[in-house]
Each structure stands twice: as structure tokens, then as C-alpha cells.
Amino acid sequence: MNKILVFVNIRIAKTKNQVERVNKWCKKNKIKLEVIEHALAPREDNACESIYQWQTQKMHPDLAVILGGDGTLLRAATAFAPLGIPLLPIATGNVGFLIQHSTQNMLKALDYLHTHPEWKYDERVMLEACSESQRMKLQALNEFVITRPDTTRLKGFKIKINNMYVTDYRADALIISTATGSSGYNLSAYGPLIIPQLDNVVITPICAHPPMIRPLVASASDTIEIYPDADNNEPLVLVANGQTRKTLYRKRKLLIRKAPFTLKLIETPYGITFFESLRNKLGWK
């Protein structure tokens, strides 16, 4: 390794100490360190991710150490996965479900990567949403949520998969989740858990009517088309990873499909497995 990027959530107080630990490790091993700080906040666009990409393209890091919780990892995935930069996420938040390395094992993991040039990756599918006009594009590691500004009424959505009509949903909202994101909002809405390495997506309605409409698992290679009610002039609201919002004003279809890149999560002997995480976070025996 020649250069490491640290992407840190400055809203978590204890991350400052972890940055200093990485800095000392880099000095000891004669590795250059670059730091990008951020503070999570919902946005109406992906301007932050664009700035992070611009900064990172000049740095050319070998990897990015992510210090924060799941929200920090989700933002880092959107910013760095298109650049092909592998991530080593370190959990400093309180709720993190996606992150497999702890601060206690952080330096051990870095030592391992420094002495083992052949790295092993856990590649995760990401999704891309675009409007019919292609003027809007968003990416998501976890999920897209499609809803309307008026949250007091059921919303109607017509769904097609690969240009084949599926059904009309009436629900508070729709979740289009990756396998990685199945343990997030999808799980809270009673969608199925999917092993994150699988090439699947799940369409989960929130409070659907009639209630026999259930979540539907599809291939991540499928193209999902979502049409708003023809007789409803309200815009659609698209939320990516619970962080970035886009309002779609015209009554055109929304396309969701696999992104042309994957997220590379670095694996080391010092991380926990997905099933260990399930047992720890969900109280499984």
C-alpha cells in the first residue's frame, strides 16, 4: 500500500481518536494518509458524493477506511464504488448492521492488508434509478423508496419487470431493496432477509392494500419499471438509502436496474460474518 483514504463521520465524537490511530499506523508503515470529513444530512441531490469523488480522483488511494456507522458506509459506497476503490468499513456508530470490522481489530486488519498483497473482496450489487428522460440518475447500496409528498393517502404504482406487467400496487410507499439492504428498511416493512452476496432485489410495499399483496423477489439483472397513477398529478418522491431525495415532477416511468459497478468490501480474518451479525443484532440464538 502507498496511500490510504480515511472517510470519517465527524458527527460521531469517538471517530477523531480512530483517525489518529490510523494516522500513527500510516506514519509507522510509511504510507500516505488523506482524510475526507463529512456530516450526514438528507439532501435533495447527490452534490456531496460528487465532491467526494472529485477529491478522491486526485488522491488515487489504494483503499478507503470508512469510520462511522451504516449511514457513513452508504454514502461512501455511492461516492467511491463508481471509482472502483475498495472499502474497509470500521464500526464507530451505535446501530451499524452492514459493517463487519470493529475499532478493536482495525489495526490488525490494516496490518494484514499491508502484508498480504492479494486482497479478497466481498462484492455487493448496487442499484441505479433513472427517469425515463435519463436526466436524473441515483445509485443506492441499500434501497430506493418511492412515495409521494402527501403521506396521508395510499399511492398507486403500476409495476413492470422486463417490460412484463406484474401488478398495480396501492400502498403508502414501495421499497426496492438490494440483498445488502434487505436487513434495513425492507426488514422493518416485513420483507425477507436475503444473503447479501446474492444477485437479487426485493420489491416490498409498505402497508399495501389489499393486504394479500406481498413482497416480490426478483433478479438484480431485471429492469423494474414503476409508473405513477395516470389520474394523479402529484409528483413522485425517490429516496436513495434514506439520504438523498429526488422529486420527479413529470408523470413518466421510473427505471430501476443494476448499477454498472459493484461495491468492493475488503475481507480480512478480523471481520465478522453476515450470520454473526444477524445473531448479534437480531438476537438470534
Q: How many domains does the chain have?
A: 2
CATH classification at residue 108: 3.40.50.10330
Residue 64 is predicted with a pLDDT of 96
Same domain, 183 and 109: no
For the chain, give the percent of residues with pLDDT over 90. Answer: 58
Q: Evaluate whether residue 230 is within a structural domain.
A: yes
Same domain, 132 and 52: no
Bridge partners (DSSP) of residue 262 are 125
Final residue of a structural domain among 69, 96, 118: 118
Same domain, 10 and 104: yes
Q: How far apart, in Å, do the first and last CA atoms of the chain sit?
A: 40
Domain range for 234: 126-260
Look up cell 489504494; give the residue. 62
Annotated active-site residue 70? The verdict is yes
Same domain, 155 and 52: no
Same domain, 147 and 186: yes
Give the pLDDT confidence of 226-242 residue by residue, as tens digits: 987 766 667 788 999 99
Residue 51 is predicted with a pLDDT of 63
Q: Is the pTM of this model over 0.85?
A: yes
Same domain, 133 and 108: no
Cα–Cα dist 251/133, whole Å = 11
Residue 48 is predicted with a pLDDT of 57
Final residue of a structural domain among 101, 118, 135: 118
Give yes or no for a contact between 268 and 107, defined as CB atoms under 8 angstroms apart: no
Q: Evaluate whether residue 192 is within a structural domain.
A: yes
Same domain, 75 and 130: no
* Catalytic residue, candidates 45, 70, 111, 231: 70
Q: Which residues of the chain have pLDDT under 50?
A: none
Look up cell 490510523; give the residue. 22
Whole-number Cα distances in Å, 180 to 134, 185, 192, 214: 26, 11, 11, 20
Q: Evaluate whether residue 54 is within a structural domain.
A: yes
Same domain, 18 and 137: no
Q: Evaluate whether residue 281 is within a structural domain.
A: no
Same domain, 150 and 255: yes
Q: Evaluate whether residue 284 is within a structural domain.
A: no
Same domain, 130 and 254: yes
Residue 23 is predicted with a pLDDT of 96
Residue 237 is predicted with a pLDDT of 87
Residue 180 is predicted with a pLDDT of 96
Same domain, 132 and 242: yes
